[in-house]
Amino acid sequence: MTLSHTASKMPFLNLSAVQYAALKKQADELLSRMTLAEKIGQMSQFTSDRDVTGPSIREGYKNDIREGRVGSVFNAFDADFTRQLQQIAVEESRLGIPLLFGYDVVHGFRTIFPIPLGMASSWHPDVLEEAARIAAKEAAAAGIHWAFAPMVDISRDARWGRVMEGCGEDPLLTSLYAKAQIRGLQGDDIASVETVAACVKHYAGYGAAEAGRDYNTVNLSERVMRSIHLPPFQAAVNAGVAAVMTSFNTVDGVPASCNPLLLDQILRREWQFEGLVVTDYTAIMELIFHGVAADPAEAAQKAVNAGVDMDMQDGYFLDHLEQLVNEHKVTAERIDEAVRRILILKAALGLFEDPYRYCDEAREKATILAPQHLEKARQIARESIVLLKNDGTLPLSGSPGKVAVIGNLVEDKGEWIGPWHGAGRADEVTSFKSALEKRLPLDSIRYSKGTAGENASNADNEQAREEAIQAARQAALVILVVGEREYMSGEAASRTDIRLPEDQRLLAKAVLNTGTPTIMVTLSGRPLVLGDVVDSNEVLPPHVLLHAWWPGTQGAPALVDLLFGDADPSARLPMGFPRHVGQLPLYYAQLPTGRPLDKIDPDPRYSSQYIDSPNTPLFPFGYGLTYTHFEYGTPKLTSTVLSLSSPEDKLILTLTLTNTGQRKGIEVVQLYMRDPVASISRPRRELIDFKRIALDPGEDKEVHFQIKTKQLGYLDQHLQNRVESGCIELFVGPNVEETQQIKFNLID
C-alpha cells in the first residue's frame, strides 16, 4: 500500500492568507521602485565587527549599508549598536530599506541554556520551546530580528564536533524538537517585539560528514537522505519557519548551496516553502573549492539559479549578479523572487513601520538575564543532566562529611556554557564551587584542581594529581568534575579521540583508584568514550556517573540541586555513548546484517562483530536513571490486527507503570517498532513514540500509545511512502535495549 504523508502545515510565519497578501503587496510596491543594484544589495549579508563566527570580515560594510549594498547584517547586537547601523540604512540610503539583523542564537542569547544536545536529553519538547522563547525575548531586546536556529542535522558520529548544536541521532525526536524551537522563537505573532524569525539549518546532510570531519563530503543515497536527514527540515517548514540555511557539504556530488534537488524540487515544489534561503558563511565561495564552479561569477550563478536568495559574507552576489543578469545567465524574475521573500520577512517583522522597534535600550536592560530567565535556565539544566550510574550514593542526605572536590573545571565559569553561547559571558555564570558552598560548610570542603592543564608539563600535572590523590584519600566523599574544554566541541572541532583529554583521564583514574566513594561528573559537547575510566578492570568504577553536557549559565546550581535531591534526574540520552571510537558511526536504528551476531551457526566467529569489543554501546540511546525504580507491566494491544484498508484505523497499546521506589520520579516510556520482513531491509528498531510519566512513590498509571498505519510506513527503493501487510513488532521500555516485545499483523 502506498501512503501519502501530507503533514499538517502551519501557514508561513503563522500568517493568515489576508496578512500574507498584504505583506506581498507591500513588498511588490517597494520592489517596483528598486534598481537592480539595490535588489542585489538586499540579497547580500555581511558580518559586523561586533562578533566573529568565521574566517573573514568584509571591510567597509558600513559604507555598503549607506549605498544600499547590504540587506542583512549578522553578528551585530545590542540595542544601541543595531540602532546606529539601522540609522545608516534608513536615513542615509536612497530607499531607506531597513536592515535585517541576524545572529547565532543557538542555546540562549545572554541567559545561556544547556547545549541543544543537552536539552534534547530532557526528552521534553516543551523544554526546548521554553528556552527558545527566552532566547528570543533577550535577542529581540538586543536588536536581533533573526536567529540562525534551530540546528536539526541528524548525526550518528560523535567525532563531529557540531553534534552539540543538534538533538542527536533520531529523526522523530529531532523533528519534535525542531517544531518546539520554532514555536519558541517565532511565537504566535512574528510582529511581536518579543519574537524573532527562525532559520533552520543546515540543509541538508551536514551531520553525515564522512569520518565525522567537519565540512567533509557526504555520501547519502536519496532514499536515506529523505528517510533520515530531511524529516526534521520538513517538520520545520510545516511549523512555519521563516528561513532555511544551506549546508557546506555536497550531497551526491552536488554542493547543497547549488543543489536544485534540495533547493527547488524538495524545498519549493514538494514542501511549498515560502520563506527565504540563505547560505552558510562563505558557502558560495566554497563552490569553487568543491570543484563545481570555475570562478566567483559561476559560483554565484549556480547558487542563485538553484534557489539561494541571500549570500552570507563572501559578496559574490554583490560582485557578480548584475553582470549575470545583463548576460541573461540569471533572470530578472529570479532576482525579484528572492528579493520579494526578503522584503516580506522584513515587513512581517514590522520593520517598515518602525525600523527601530527592536532597538529599545530600556527593554534590553529589563529583559537580559531577568531573574525568571535564570530560574528557567536552572530548571532546564536539571532536566538535561543524565544520571548514568548510581549505586545508591545519590541523592546526598545530611552532611556527607569531608568532601574532596576535584577538577580544574570546578572553579571555571566559561567552560560550563560551551560553544555557540551567543552573547553569554563567563562572568555571568555561577561556578560549581560557588553553588556547592551554598550547600556545604566551607570547612568540610577541600578543593584540588588535580591537573595543571592539557598543555602543561608532565611534571606539573603529576604534582597536581598527587595533591588530588591525597585530598581524595583524606575525604569521605569525592566529587570529581572532568570533561572536554569548550574548544574541543562545536564547529571546526572534530576529534579522532573522543575520550576525556589525557590530563583529565589520568586524573580520573588516579582518584577512582583511591577507593574513596566518588561522584564523577563529566562535561562535554558530545558523547564521550568513557570505558577506560568507568568500565575497566584497571580502574575502580565511580559510585556515581552524571553527564552534565555543557549545562549553561545556571548549570552548576542545577547540578547541586540533583546531588542533594532537591530535584530528581529524568534525562535520557539522545545519542548512545560508544565503548570505543572504532565503533563510530554508532546508532540504534541500524539495518540488520545478513550475519547477525546471535544467529550464526555453527561458528559465531563469522558474524558481524568486532574481535576486541562488543557491538553494543556503553550506554544506549534513550538510557538514563532516576532516584526511584519503575516497574513495567505486560503490554497489551486492543487487537492483534490493523487494517491497511482503513488509514485511520488504530491500535492502542496499554501497560501499567508503577513507581516501586521511595521517591517521586519521571519515567520516559519509549515505544519502538520493527518490520521484520519488508520489500527493503528495515532498521532493527525505530522510535515511533514516547511519553514522560511522573509518578509518586507507590503510584501506578496506565500508559497508552496509539499506533496508526502512518507510523509504520517507510520510503521504498522507488522513493514512495509504503506500508505493507505482515507482522509488526513493537518494543516498549525505558531505553532502546531494555524492552518488552509485543506483535500484531497488518492486513490488507
423 pLDDT higher than 70 = yes
Catalytic annotation, pick one of 170, 280, 360, 503: 280
368 pLDDT higher than 60 = yes
Identify the three-state secondary structure at position 540. coil
Q: In this predicted structure, what is the pLDDT of residue 398?
A: 81
Q: What's the whole-number mean pLDDT along residues 256-261?
A: 98
Pairwise pLDDT comparison (636 vs 397), residue with the higher score: 636
Could you please report the per-residue DSSP string of 166-212? S--S-HHHHHHHHHHHHHHHH-S-TTSTT--EEEEEEETTGGG-GGG
**Which letter does DSSP use for residue 339 in this model?**
H
Q: In this predicted structure, what is the pLDDT of residue 408?
A: 96
138 pLDDT higher than 50 = yes
Query: How many percent of the chain have pLDDT more than 90?
Result: 94
Q: Picking from 4-13, 201-210, 369-378, 649-658, which range would have the lowest pLDDT averaged per residue?
A: 4-13
d(Cα 658, Cα 477) in Å, to the nearest integer? 33
Check: CB of residue 489 under 8 Å from CB of residue 161.
Answer: yes
Q: Which three cell numbers stand for residue 435?
A: 553553588
Check: CB of residue 105 under 8 Å from CB of residue 136.
Answer: yes
Give every CB contact of residue 371 below 8 A, 6+ residues apart in sequence: none
pLDDT category at 7 given cuts 50, 70, 90 is low
- pLDDT tens digits for 465-498? 999 999 999 999 999 999 999 999 999 999 999 9
443 pLDDT higher than 80 = yes
d(Cα 580, Cα 601) in Å, to the nearest integer? 27
Q: In this predicted structure, what is the pLDDT of residue 532?
A: 94
57 pLDDT higher than 60 = no
Q: What's the whole-number mean pLDDT along residues 322-341?
A: 98
Check: CB of residue 26 under 8 Å from CB of residue 300.
Answer: no
Beta-bridge mates of residue 405? 447, 479
Query: Beta strands 726-733 and 665-674: pairing type?
Result: antiparallel
Q: In this predicted structure, what is the pLDDT of residue 53?
A: 59
Q: In this predicted structure, what is the pLDDT of residue 648?
A: 81
- pLDDT tens digits for 505-516? 999 999 999 999
Pairwise pLDDT comparison (214 vs 603), residue with the higher score: 214
- pLDDT tens digits for 532-558? 999 999 999 999 999 999 999 999 999
Active site residue 603: no
Average pLDDT, the chain: 96
179 pLDDT higher than 50 = yes
The answer to whether the pTM exceeds 0.85 is: yes
d(Cα 4, Cα 269) in Å, to the nearest integer? 16
- pLDDT tens digits for 668-686? 999 999 999 999 999 999 9
Q: In this predicted structure, what is the pLDDT of residue 58?
A: 58
Q: What's the whole-number mean pLDDT along residues 301-313?
A: 98
Domains present along the chain, CATH in parentheses:
381-583 (3.40.50.1700), 628-747 (2.60.40.10)
Helix (H) or strand (E) holding 654: strand 650-659
Residue that the C-alpha cell 549546508 belongs to: 247
- pLDDT tens digits for 515-526? 999 999 999 999
Q: In this predicted structure, what is the pLDDT of residue 1?
A: 64
281 pLDDT higher than 70 = yes
Q: What's the whole-number mean pLDDT along residues 57-65?
A: 76
Q: In this predicted structure, what is the pLDDT of residue 55?
A: 43
Identify the three-state secondary structure at position 348. helix
d(Cα 448, Cα 581) in Å, to the nearest integer? 30
Q: What's the whole-number mean pLDDT along residues 334-359?
A: 98
Q: In this predicted structure, what is the pLDDT of residue 56?
A: 45
Q: What's the whole-number mean pLDDT along residues 586-600?
A: 91
Q: Which three cell numbers stand for residue 310?
A: 541571500
